[in-house]
Amino acid sequence: MGNTLIEKIIMKNTQKANVAPGEIVTVNVDRVMIHDIFIPFVADKFKEMGFTKLWDSDKVVLIYDHLVPTSAVEDVRHFQIGDAFAKEHNLKNFHKADGICHQLMTECGYAKPGDIVFGTDSHTTTYGCVGCFSSGIGYTEMASILGTGQMWIRVPETIKVRIDGKLPENVTSKDVILRLIGDLGADGATYKVLEFSGSAIDEMSVASRMTMSNMAIEAGAKAGLFAPDEKTCEYSKVKMEDVAWLKADEDASYVREMTYKAEDFVLVCACPSQVDKIEAVSNLKDIKIDQVFIGSCTNGRLEDLKAAAEILKGKKVAPFVKLIVTPASRSIYLEAVKAGYITDLVEAGAMVTQPGCGLCCGRACGILTDGERVVATNNRNFLGRMGTSKVEIFLASPKTAAASAIAGKIVEA
């Protein structure tokens, strides 16, 4: 019996000849990520546990993003504690305003193919886009890794998702992952790994795959994995021969196999207030909107800004709609400036904000109130996520979001 991709990663890490789902193993952690919201709690727990030294300060990444720039005076305390922690432990991998943690982790090469990475954020699953096993944990568990470099995990079952063919025009990886979450349900992959393959997946850019691994958690998954290919190697700056082992065996055993024809996918939204409440955009008639958000660790990359700019170039956002655009990182922001996308977006009426988590986590930069409706490219439409509990959030692709901003209602790109 062969092994799945996640089993291969765990076997290599633990130097075991074989592992099987359900087995509890201790892994050596290759990298950890802590963000500004949780650093005070991590620092407290680390001390309380009796640790004084990090197991390996090069393997620790501290990123400020949820509170950047601050929107309340209490937020500053998080930076003061983070700064002190970084100084005390001589942290070199430290970003104060460079972008959203999940973007920076692969962009800066902290999370590489075959690594095992944990972060204090549920969307840590994002690094699966380069074949890295990464998952979210809480701050107590993070504190124990900082001291020991190790963590126990249960070897997960794997759901194989195979998509062959060519996606229809304007259908993006966001539409694909939303449909998959709808089919799986918000808990359909709980404790399990989603392993993506097929010719439609091969065609996708690393950025598009990132959108899918980012949202794997929305079906409850522990990871959303893509086997590395040439595109991955170029993005992650690794050699194909060094990552060739990172693929599932032909005879690997899966708990479920889902097979799709790429041609069957359509533009979709996740309707309020559940990520698995999926509806075709063509079925959503005359849903007037107040705001559009294009950004986040799900869809704030260059190809997303490009897609939105191409639709908005030379047009105007509907007069009653606020369009907020948040690039996922400083480097993406700069590239989008150089490519002219930011000019196109601003001329169309967009407000462009500093890269960060602000609106997606309901803290800043465009929060909404009762009765308002937003089309957003981020990953969660939970009750109260982007403002009050009576805000309606429709999750969609950047193309749908941009087209809707012009129309003033939800429409297909």
| Chain contacts with another protein (rule: CB under 8 A) | 24, 37-38, 41, 45, 48-51, 67, 72, 74-75, 77-78, 119-122, 124, 135-141, 143-144, 147-148, 152, 186-187, 190-191, 220, 222, 274, 361-363, 380, 382-385, 389
- If the CB atoms of residues 74 and 251 are measured against another protein, the closer one turns out to be 74
- If the CB atoms of residues 148 and 331 are measured against another protein, the closer one turns out to be 148
- Shortest distance (Å) from residue 345 CB to another protein: 26
Give all strands (DSSP E) within 227-312, no chain letters. Answer: 256-261, 268-270, 278-280, 291-295
Pairing mode, strands 94-95 and 60-63: parallel
**What element of type H or E holds 182?**
helix 173-184
Query: What residues contact residue 261 under an 8 Å CB cut-off, 6+ apart?
Result: 163, 164, 165
- If the CB atoms of residues 218 and 304 are measured against another protein, the closer one turns out to be 218
Give CA 91 to chain center in angstroms: 24
CA separation for the pair 283, 269 (Å, rounded): 10
- If the CB atoms of residues 148 and 170 are measured against another protein, the closer one turns out to be 148
- Shortest distance (Å) from residue 137 CB to another protein: 6
CA separation for the pair 277, 272 (Å, rounded): 7
- If the CB atoms of residues 222 and 301 are measured against another protein, the closer one turns out to be 222
- If the CB atoms of residues 33 and 401 are measured against another protein, the closer one turns out to be 33
- Shortest distance (Å) from residue 143 CB to another protein: 8
Helix 330-338 to helix 302-312 angle, to the nearest 10 degrees? 40
- Shortest distance (Å) from residue 156 CB to another protein: 9
Alpha helix segments (H runs only) across 185-229? 199-203, 206-215
- Shortest distance (Å) from residue 409 CB to another protein: 26
- If the CB atoms of residues 31 and 247 are measured against another protein, the closer one turns out to be 31
Q: Are 118 and 136 in contact (CB under 8 A)?
A: yes
Please provide residue 347's backbone torsions phi and psi, each rounded to the nearest 5 degrees. Answer: -60, -30
- Shortest distance (Å) from residue 50 CB to another protein: 3
- If the CB atoms of residues 78 and 95 are measured against another protein, the closer one turns out to be 78
- If the CB atoms of residues 220 and 228 are measured against another protein, the closer one turns out to be 220
What DSSP designation does 167 have? Answer: P
- Shortest distance (Å) from residue 383 CB to another protein: 5
Give all strands (DSSP E) within 166-247, no chain letters. Answer: 193-197, 223-226
- Shortest distance (Å) from residue 139 CB to another protein: 5
- If the CB atoms of residues 140 and 354 are measured against another protein, the closer one turns out to be 140
* 200: exposed, middle or buried (Cβ count in 10 Å: 0-12, 13-18, 19+): buried
Please provide residue 223's backbone torsions phi and psi, each rounded to the nearest 5 degrees. Answer: -160, 160
CA separation for the pair 140, 143 (Å, rounded): 5
- Shortest distance (Å) from residue 192 CB to another protein: 9
What's the one-letter identity of residue 301?
R
Alpha-carbon separation of residue 140 from 42, 64, 148 (angstroms):
6, 19, 13
Give CA 281 to chain center in angstroms: 23
- Shortest distance (Å) from residue 64 CB to another protein: 13
What DSSP designation does 272 have? Answer: T
